[in-house]
Chain A
């Protein structure tokens, strides 16, 4: 082996159990670890949403065993209003950070970005390992909050100050529970920074010969843009968390105003700005939405192209749109704060870019739909979930037009309308992207095919179920149903209870359907049909290597790339697709 080749390999083949499966430097193992962590987090988060939905419609019914989760929060199995908020916080934090950031970005990105650009590993494998294990530590820190007597914090996943900053006086979970949250998120920031640094350096420096930037598949682009966003967004959340921790344990007053009386006690703080927390948080928080959705956009484009057997209408416009979404995502954070007491003029300033950002999103949607029009789409579970993604993204996105306008947002902001909006556009859409990616790449990751019949059952029930859950939320919101309340005892909301019951039943049902997915995942892992190297007749580099790939991906060879990523249906070619590494010359256009 030449010197150059030796230097490219950052580490030898893994030796021993710990190096192979636990403290692995292999990006593929780390990707799977992220996926596994996201799986644990998503089922925990979903279980919490079940508990909340159950409590919303049967507030006085005991949930057997809930008293074991918290004796204070759920005496006799009936949760207190405060404990509802604790679960709300944990549901949001788990889903946004440990699922929507981890699965589409960290898990699939880790596994497939290096392979798709023809690299043998990430640029900094040790950072990569540290990144996962720091995320794992963050997860443990967060889950510790469940084991503190008064439970997890009640301040929501956004941890608005001063509620999150003043300490136990303000309510249950705001003592050590909130500390666990803040420490967890600070660790998560560090991990994400390391991860993004790795993604960026890998994409820029480790591309194979001939792999120009424009020859990278769309999902590689999406992960690259996402890592640029994440690098700058988490670099802002980290200092915010540090200041929050100091307010809580060192007695500083960054976010706590003067003269604040909580629980009849004058807080020993002065002069802080609660709005400052919101600015810092949402400066991270809005880009975070795109950290969740951009990888899903990339994955879905990648899959749809393969299923349509033709490229999208324009590769360049898709990438340009994703870049402009990434850029604009930094200018819209104030639209989360229209009701915060900000100067009304700044609301106008934030409203404008918020409406602008819908343009690249609409361009993407039109490109997907325009490419699908008249195409001979192969219906697989992966392509179904991709279509589902577009459906969810559009349905959730349309309500964004309304919320972007301050005058309408004033009415809708604190209602279920917003809950419906962000769950569809960011939550369910990104989850559909994760599902699509899972069904598509499972053969590569495990060497076995997933069961398509179970997959399609999973898709249809999830698709219908998700709409049954989240569409009525919009109606509830328009009817004035406030969010974040643990039960609706007011007269004007009582007539809405049947809608809530419908949603709860839909949520329990749709959640249960996910067990089909879990079964399919585990069953196919061990008993699925063996997967060929390229089961989908796809063109990108991950399909040129065995399933599952060897530890160094390309078996010591250095792939060379000759083609754009999506050479499907090329007239005059030897097959209906040309792989990126195929030296076959493109037939000259007449």
Chain B
């Protein structure tokens, strides 16, 4: 069926604000209607991913807050803290990750423009999506290079508390970035289908997550760089 019917892609042109009211439309004074007539009342299918992404980001924030407080306690009480000079490649990685956020924003615009028929082609949108994915992969590879550089200096995870935290924070962040890449891959696949099945809410969620990874990384760089 999907190959023969050419429907417009299922993307909401107007973004729905995430709201506490949800789809339930709580508080609305409803006309008395019988159960059978109620389907018309559902204006939109619910899109819990809009709420879910913020809840997920809250949990990730809390997790890194716990890591940070552990780092502060450990650093504050330690006599064995040897502050480590961050490998310089990290600055390059930071730039790459932030750049990927820009390409992703451009991708969102191109996708929207394609969906509304305002000029952008699917190929153009795919190109920027793919470059975001590529930059993300380069970032993870860059992090790996940073670990190799530390290793060559004899700094392993157990060498001193600072190197321990460095490996833990960067690795946990990298795992989350890989999760984000998985999300972007899903978005790209759904967009690439003959009849795209991508929903705007999915694209938005993947984008918020990805930008959050960038912000989180800048924060982690600061925490690792800072000497109490």
Q: Which residues from A are CB-within-8-Å of B70?
A: 239-240, 243, 254, 276, 280
Q: Which residues from A are CB-within-8-Å of B65?
A: 236
**Chain A nearest CB, measured from B195 CB (Å):** 14
Contact B73 A231 (CB under 8 A): no
Partner of B158, one of A232, A250, A273: A250
**Chain A nearest CB, measured from B192 CB (Å):** 21
Which 4 A-B residue pairs are closest in the complex by CB-CB distance? Answer: A207-B24, A7-B45, A123-B48, A212-B26
Contact A197 B22 (CB under 8 A): no
**Chain A nearest CB, measured from B65 CB (Å):** 8
- Interface positions, chain B 12-53, Cβ under 8 Å from A, are 20, 22-28, 30, 32-36, 38-52
B172 within 8 A of A: yes
Q: Which residues from A are CB-within-8-Å of B22?
A: 204-207
Partner of B42, one of A5, A193, A202, A238: A5
Contact B52 A238 (CB under 8 A): no
23 pairs, A vs B, C-beta closer than 8 Å: A3-B45, A118-B24, A124-B48, A196-B59, A197-B52, A201-B51, A204-B48, A206-B22, A210-B28, A210-B30, A212-B26, A212-B27, A213-B26, A235-B60, A239-B70, A240-B66, A243-B168, A280-B66, A280-B70, A283-B66, A560-B41, A562-B30, A581-B35
Contact B172 A4 (CB under 8 A): no
Q: Which residues from A are CB-within-8-Å of B67?
A: 239
Bound form: Cα–Cα A202–B78 in Å: 44
Contact A4 B56 (CB under 8 A): no
Bound form: Cα–Cα A212–B25 in Å: 7
Q: Which residues from B are CB-within-8-Å of A204?
A: 20, 22, 48, 51
Contact A209 B74 (CB under 8 A): no
Bound form: Cα–Cα A202–B33 in Å: 25
Q: How many residues of A contact B (CB 8 A)?
A: 62
A15 within 8 A of B: no
B2 within 8 A of A: no
Bound form: Cα–Cα A280–B77 in Å: 16
**Chain B nearest CB, measured from A230 CB (Å):** 10
Bound form: Cα–Cα A201–B23 in Å: 11
B27 (CB) vs chain A CBs: closest residue: A212
Bound form: Cα–Cα A75–B135 in Å: 60
Bound form: Cα–Cα A568–B113 in Å: 54
Contact A205 B38 (CB under 8 A): no
Q: Which residues from B are CB-within-8-Å of A252?
A: 157-158, 161, 164
Interface string of A530-564 (1 = CB under 8 A from B): 00000000000000000000000000011110100
B58 within 8 A of A: yes
- Interface positions, chain A 118-162, Cβ under 8 Å from B, are 118, 123-124
Q: Of residues B24, B73, B77, B158, which shows the largest number of chain A Cβ atoms within 10 Å of its Cβ?
A: B24
A189 (CB) vs chain B CBs: closest residue: B63
**Chain B nearest CB, measured from A412 CB (Å):** 28
Contact B168 A238 (CB under 8 A): no
Q: What is the interface of chain A, defined by CB distance below 8 A to chain B?
A: 1-5, 7-8, 117-118, 123-124, 193, 196-198, 200-202, 204-213, 215, 231-232, 234-236, 238-240, 242-243, 246, 250-254, 258, 270-273, 275-276, 279-280, 283, 557-560, 562, 581, 583
Contact B26 A211 (CB under 8 A): yes
Bound form: Cα–Cα A583–B34 in Å: 8
Bound form: Cα–Cα A209–B28 in Å: 8
Contact A238 B158 (CB under 8 A): no
Other A-B pairs beyond A201-B49, A232-B62, 17, CB < 8 Å? A7-B45, A8-B42, A124-B52, A196-B55, A200-B55, A205-B48, A232-B59, A239-B172, A250-B158, A251-B158, A254-B164, A271-B161, A276-B73, A557-B35, A557-B36, A560-B38, A583-B34
**Chain A nearest CB, measured from B4 CB (Å):** 18
Bound form: Cα–Cα A504–B81 in Å: 51
Bound form: Cα–Cα A246–B25 in Å: 47
B79 within 8 A of A: yes
Bound form: Cα–Cα A118–B26 in Å: 12
Q: Of residues B38, B59, B80, which shows the largest number of chain A Cβ atoms within 10 Å of its Cβ?
A: B59
Bound form: Cα–Cα A1–B36 in Å: 12
- Once A279-B73, A560-B38 are accepted as A-B contacts, the answer to whether A235 and B45 lie under 8 Å apart by CB is no
Contact B157 A205 (CB under 8 A): no
Bound form: Cα–Cα A243–B67 in Å: 9
Partner of A236, one of B35, B63, B164: B63
Bound form: Cα–Cα A251–B43 in Å: 57
Q: Which residues from A are CB-within-8-Å of B34?
A: 583
Bound form: Cα–Cα A581–B35 in Å: 9
Contact A236 B74 (CB under 8 A): no
- Once A240-B66, A242-B168 are accepted as A-B contacts, the answer to whether A200 and B51 lie under 8 Å apart by CB is yes
- Once A5-B42, A273-B77 are accepted as A-B contacts, the answer to whether A206 and B48 lie under 8 Å apart by CB is yes
- Once A209-B38, A271-B161, A272-B74 are accepted as A-B contacts, the answer to whether A239 and B63 lie under 8 Å apart by CB is yes
- Interface positions, chain B 60-93, Cβ under 8 Å from A, are 60, 62-63, 65-67, 69-70, 73-74, 77-81
Bound form: Cα–Cα A254–B174 in Å: 21
Bound form: Cα–Cα A557–B33 in Å: 13
B43 (CB) vs chain A CBs: closest residue: A4
Contact A2 B39 (CB under 8 A): yes
Q: Which residues from A are CB-within-8-Å of B28?
A: 209-210
Q: Which residues from B are CB-within-8-Å of A232?
A: 58-59, 62
Interface string of B96-115 (1 = CB under 8 A from A): 00000000000000000000
Contact B58 A231 (CB under 8 A): yes
- Once A201-B55, A235-B63, A276-B73 are accepted as A-B contacts, the answer to whether A558 and B79 lie under 8 Å apart by CB is no
A123 (CB) vs chain B CBs: closest residue: B48
Q: Which residues from A are CB-within-8-Å of B38?
A: 209, 557-560
Bound form: Cα–Cα A251–B42 in Å: 57
B169 (CB) vs chain A CBs: closest residue: A239
Contact A238 B74 (CB under 8 A): no
**Chain B nearest CB, measured from A585 CB (Å):** 8
- Once A123-B48, A239-B67 are accepted as A-B contacts, the answer to whether A4 and B39 lie under 8 Å apart by CB is yes
- Once A124-B48, A271-B78 are accepted as A-B contacts, the answer to whether A211 and B42 lie under 8 Å apart by CB is no
- Interface positions, chain B 137-171, Cβ under 8 Å from A, are 157-158, 161, 164, 168
Contact B23 A235 (CB under 8 A): no
- Once A201-B52, A271-B78 are accepted as A-B contacts, the answer to whether A209 and B30 lie under 8 Å apart by CB is yes
Contact A271 B27 (CB under 8 A): no
Bound form: Cα–Cα A210–B58 in Å: 28
B67 (CB) vs chain A CBs: closest residue: A239
